[in-house]
Structure 1
Amino acid sequence: MTSRSLLEGQGVRQITGGLGTLDREVFEAVAESPSMLLDKAMPVLTRAADHSKLWFAIAAVLAATGSPSARRGAGRGVITLAFTSLATNQGAKRVWKRARPNRTLVPLVRRSRRVPTSNSLPSGHSASAAAFAVGVGLENPPLGLGLALLAGLVGLSRVATGAHYPGDVFAGFGIGAAIAVLGGRLVPPIVPAKLPSTEPLVIDTPERPEGDGVVLVINPASGSGTGTRVIDEVREKLPKAEIVELGPDDNPETVLREAARRAEVLGVGGGDGTVSAAASVAVSTGLPLAVFPAGTFNHFAKDIGCDTVERTVSAIRNGNVSCVDLVCLNEDQMVINTASIGAYPLFVQTREKLEHKVGKPLAGMYAMLHTLRRGTPVRIRFDNKTIQTSLFFLGNSVYLPSGFAPARRTRMDDGLIDVRILETGKRFSRLRILTAVALGRLERSPLYHEIQAPEFSFEAVDGPTPLARDGEVGNTYDKASFSAKYRVLPVFRPLL
């Protein structure tokens, strides 16, 4: 060994020895500090953190909240804690040998009741605390900050009660944080999408306190009789509005076009299929549209803020009109909500039937499994690639949340088409999709395709395929081309 190597070894030993001396001196300073706060709070806190009871309790509280990021953080925190505990107790503590501090220096009232027998380096309590705090913080930074402060106090409690040196605590913090960060690299946290926000396009429209010039076309039998109730409310609140009741043999589009000839405002009440026909007539005739929620689900009415008759009536009385987007299919048909191919309608029906009984996550899991088993796959070509899919969704404007359970739109004038596709033609695709759904990571799966663009088109590889539009199965198509019609439809709606 050269003299240089000897000198370097002596230098490392001197630094290590100096750090060890400093570590012991800091421990003694904390141990000998006369503090009622340390005497009372530290033993309680360190006992709460025994066997990670504190963190499991916090995870249960977070999981019970309505915040998706808090629930994801709770799951990530617990999983990270489990890996960290295993790595610390079965790995690090067996590698680094270090005796525990001299507990007699700590006041009796502050000493932990349980005397640890494992090596002192690193602190398992501190590693678990950092792992949980950083794990939660990756999904919800504000919660992570608060938990990091609590984790720091847990680390202090291990020194104050005589269980560890400060160096043990810092080593534990480093291990726990490193494992949490590594987990974040392997399974990246979900970053909520931020949608662009612009001012709505408001149209000057005269007030109509009694419904002058409004012609309402409505099916009394729609929504299991809801249409009749809507008719009664409109007659009472807008006495000058003309009401045209659709009969069982009437063609809604024909009746709507006749009504538009004498209307200043075209009103419609019925399912989304009827509303879609009315939207097409309103655009072609240049009339504003008033939508009354008389169908079963009323997706379009809800998304424009007209989920009650009173809201639509108020908008008509006050002359509140703004413009929303439509999607044009093959240049001759309008889509107000969604279009789909494959078994997407079956997926939605199954999920909505169960979600009120077992909750949306379990209902979505079952609906996905049911649909993947029962649905007939379709091969389509888009963007110069061919894939097989059983679930294809296309929406007018961007839907939330991300993933394959789009439920709502926060705006309807962004000029975009929202496309979600599940690819089912690859090896073990069903198992991979279900696993991703169970872990809440579907949107990161290579089998999931999400596109937001002003235009989208596809070609059915194996011949014409049926396409459902606004909840109703329509024609079959070899090719389908969709284009967003930006703010083309003026509608009566509450102004924000």
Structure 2
Amino acid sequence: MYRKFQRVGRFDRAVESAVGALPASRVDQGLLSLTTSANYSGLWLGIAALLATRKGQTRRAAMRGAVAVGGASLVVNAGMKTLIARRRPAAEVLPVYRRLVPAPVSSSFPSGHAACAAAFATAVALESPRTAAVVAPLAATVAYSRIHTGVHWSSDVFVGAAVGSVVALATQRWWPVRESDEALARPVREAPAMPKGKGLVVVVNPVSGDPNYDPTGDIATALPEAVLLRTRPDIDAADQLEQALAELGPAVEAVGVAGGDGTVAAVAAVALRHKLPLAVIPTGTLNHFARDLGVYDLIEVVDATGIGEAVAVDVASVELEDETGSSTRYLLNTASIGTYPDMVRMREKWQHRWGKWPAFAAALVVTLRRAESIQIQIDGRWQRVWFLFIGNGPYHPHGAVPAFRDRLDSGLLDVRWLRADVRWSRTRAFMALALSAIGHSTVYGERQLPELLVDLPSPEALATDGEVVGKASRLHFRVAGQIPVYRRDESNPLWVDRVRPHHRRAPWLRDWFQSLTDRWSSTSSRP
């Protein structure tokens, strides 16, 4: 073992001598500036902020990259450096103009800069390989800059980079990588084509999503022959759409919606009742359904409705019963009983004063502290649980926190619960989540069923698609049916020729690619 360390030391000194013998150039000052910009991961967090401005793969890459950088920094700086003491290379080997001043004083092994650089590049590659093609060379340059400026041995950099990559790969245990930007679903060939939106009635909720953006104008420009209905506070969106369908009659070939998941679910229920296709324009805050569907912008809706491309999507329903009667609600994403509805109520109460995201964070903290278990009966067996989750379709990953769906037409409900009748259940659940082993814990349950009957000893609040819809003592969940939902078929040669698949999720990349194509065409046409 000692001889192996000797060989590593000889290799490090040989690399240091070779780097020290390099002639002076402008690269020296550039590497000094670059390595300084990566202090405290400032470079990577800045790039992450830039990537996060774009939806889809680049935003997910930014989020995973930031998490990986934080994890790598914690492992290296708070862990390995405190356990392994190693002196830094001697500054005298390098010329003065190349030295980093002031020099770091912490342990040389391993390199924190290399760890964070590799962590960020690897995390970005997991979500967006094409973005990583730009980030990876920069990360490698930052790692080399630690050797070039004389503050790390080469083995420090290699080990740091390996640790950072492992940390980034490990994030998949808690946060699975989505292999596709759209869930699978059966194509529907008979969906009507509606060029310019002719025959389409679109419900627009202007208060969904960004409060400073009203999508009505953009939708009217993109779909000039569509009928637009702006939601009003004095009437339910579904009732407003029903009135419009009664007035327009057979002229309506499909309905559309621009808003959050709650508005989308309400319009989907109308589409199911009238057996009409649905077009979804993502203008809400999170757009869970649109993201699972694989529709990220208005352009895709225009393309799909114009040519008549759609897929079959399940719509689930829940019948709420209490002593006063029953009612039915529809959902496209999820429903829940327990702590989550309490959190939703708090968020709605506080968001007008603090904003949606601060109110959500505050409500989450308060709810976890005040959480009380509820008693439910599933398939004739009573259990005490902290919450019950019902997904419209199987969510991925199994045996973990549900993140996304990989299929939209399975005809099944995804049922998950966290038991409260086990000693130290919350502590055990927290530890299982931290170790990514919740699927193997006795406090966790999961089943996939076509329908589910839930009895409660007293009325409990129910939330569907992020909104509290009422209380009930008996709930009957089932898959109510399927509707065609417009989605562009990327295998269609029309879209393959017009927009390459890897650009479809980021409009700025698509525009950039088109500008390069136009520039190349104009250049190649010159004599």
Matched, 1:70 2:62: yes
Give TM-score, length-normalised by structure 2. 0.56
Amino acid at match of 1:197: L
For residues 181-220 of structure 1, the aligned pairs below 5 Å read 181=166, 185=170, 188-193=173-178, 194=180, 196-203=183-190
Q: From 112, 131, 135, give the equivalent of 2:115.
A: 131
Q: Distance in 2 between matches of 1:292 and 1:110?
A: 57
Amino acid at match of 1:41: G
- The answer for the alignment partner of 2:159 in structure 1 is 174
Amino acid at match of 1:347: M
Q: From 31, 45, 57, give the equivalent of 1:59.
A: 45
Q: CA deviation at 1:31?
A: 1.3
Matched, 1:39 2:36: no
Amino acid at match of 1:336: Y
For residues 19-418 of structure 1, the aligned pairs below 5 Å read 20-48=9-37, 52-53=39-40, 55-63=41-49, 65-66=52-53, 67-93=59-85, 100-101=89-90, 103-114=91-102, 123-124=108-109, 127-137=111-121, 139-141=123-125, 142=129, 149-164=137-152, 168-175=153-160, 177-178=162-163, 181=166, 185=170, 188-193=173-178, 194=180, 196-203=183-190, 223-225=233-235, 234=244, 242-243=246-247, 282=274, 288=276, 323-327=312-316, 336-337=330-331, 339-342=335-338, 344-352=340-348, 354=350, 362-372=358-368, 377-380=373-376, 382=378, 387-397=383-393, 413-418=409-414
- The answer for the alignment partner of 1:484 in structure 2 is 479
Q: Distance in 1 between matches of 2:238 and 2:327?
A: 29
Amino acid at match of 2:141: L
Secondary structure of the 1:457 match is: strand
Give TM-score, length-normalised by structure 1. 0.59
Q: Distance in 1 between matches of 2:113 and 2:28?
A: 21
Q: Distance in 1 between matches of 2:97 and 2:255?
A: 77
Matched-pair contact (CA < 8 Å) for 1:327–1:334: no
Secondary structure of the 1:368 match is: helix
Q: Cα RMSD over matched residues?
A: 6.1
Q: Distance in 2 between matches of 1:156 and 1:410?
A: 40
Matched-pair contact (CA < 8 Å) for 1:341–1:393: yes
Q: Distance in 1 between matches of 2:427 and 2:243?
A: 51
Q: Distance in 1 between matches of 2:82 and 2:12?
A: 24
Q: CA deviation at 1:396?
A: 3.1
Q: Distance in 2 between matches of 1:442 and 1:357?
A: 38
Q: CA deviation at 1:36?
A: 0.8
Amino acid at match of 1:200: P
Q: CA deviation at 1:132?
A: 1.1
5+ long unaligned stretches in structure 1:
1-8, 212-219, 235-240, 245-258
Amino acid at match of 2:148: A
Secondary structure of the 1:203 match is: coil
Amino acid at match of 2:48: L
Q: Say if 1:271 and 1:85 are closer, same or farther in 2 by CA, change over 3 A.
A: closer
Q: CA deviation at 1:35?
A: 3.9
Matched-pair contact (CA < 8 Å) for 1:205–1:319: yes
- The answer for the alignment partner of 2:207 in structure 1 is none
Secondary structure of the 1:415 match is: coil
Question: Once the two structures are superposed, what CA deviation does each residue of 1:267-303 show, in whole Å capped at 9, x if it has no partner?
Answer: 9999899878867765xxxx5488999xx99x99989
Q: Say if 1:370 and 1:203 are closer, same or farther in 2 by CA, change over 3 A.
A: farther
| Alignment size in residue pairs | 424
Q: Say if 1:84 and 1:336 are closer, same or farther in 2 by CA, change over 3 A.
A: same
Question: Once the two structures are superposed, what CA deviation does each residue of 1:438-477 show, in whole Å capped at 9, x if it has no partner?
Answer: x998988959968573524355475786767786437532
Question: Once the two structures are superposed, what CA deviation does each residue of 1:241-279 show, in whole Å capped at 9, x if it has no partner?
Answer: 7449xxxxxxxxxxxxxx9xx999899999899878867
Q: CA deviation at 1:197?
A: 1.9
